[in-house]
Amino acid sequence: MKRFVIIGLGNFGSATAEALHQAGHDVTTVDTNEDLVDRMARRVTRAAVGDGRSIDVLRKIGAEGADAGIVSTGDDITSSILAALSLRDLGVPEIYVKVISQDHARVLEKIGVTETIFPERESGIRLATRIASRGVLNYIRIGPDFGIQEMAVPESWIGQSLRALELPRHYKISIIAVHDVLQDEIMPVPNPDAPLKDSDTLFILGRDADLGRIAKIV
């Protein structure tokens, strides 16, 4: 079990807090809005009313001992920067911040946060990737020009094994999981000799350019 402190209870902060708590982690949230705090009180370990920019407030709610801090203060760029600085000054080892622009992200990266998250941009990329090809079901960005794509098995691959297809050699991609949709069973270590079925979907790791190339054959 890890300990998380989440500053800001908008849609992003609330969803993150609830998901982490449901996964069995210790989650403390803080927001200046009493209604939002009351709404989250039963969904997290602790919910406090206070200013997440304040070191004193963060110290009182136990941020010093947290494994990670997540900052989600809406469109208030100054508040997010100050909250991130306070978490850093308290020695929180990992700090994740929701941003609203590339400039916002650049400032936070300069002060050394672990990662900036731009939900609107990432949602747009996922949507564009999915609708650009009828075979692509999902896309997760995991780095610059790099991601994981879920897609249907191309017709020409049905009945063939991953070993026979030699996808890393031919397409510079890796199949990291196979989902049998009919059985609703995910195989995180696919059998390289099992024939692929038309009811399977593939989780493919690779560079965006290679993922885009593979999507065109579906």
Residues spanned by CATH 3.40.50.720 within the chain?
A: 3-117
Among 10, 129, 26, CA closest to 68: 26
Residues spanned by CATH 3.30.70.1450 within the chain?
A: 122-215
pLDDT in tens, 182-209: 888 999 999 999 999 999 999 999 998 8
Q: Enter the pTM of the model.
A: 0.69
CATH superfamily, domain 122-215, is Regulator of K+ conductance, C-terminal domain (3.30.70.1450)
Going by pLDDT thresholds of 50, 70 and 90, the confidence category of residue 170 is: very high
Widest pairwise Cα distance in the chain: 62
Compute the Cα dihedral for 182, 183, 184, 190 and give only its sign.
negative
pLDDT in tens, 101-149: 989 999 999 999 999 998 877 777 767 766 666 678 888 888 778 899 9
Helix H or strand E encompassing 183: none
pLDDT at 129: 67
Report, at the CATH architecture level, how domain 3-117 is classified: 3-Layer(aba) Sandwich (3.40)
Q: Answer with the residue of higher pLDDT: 127 or 171.
A: 171
Indicate whether 31 pLDDT > 90.
yes
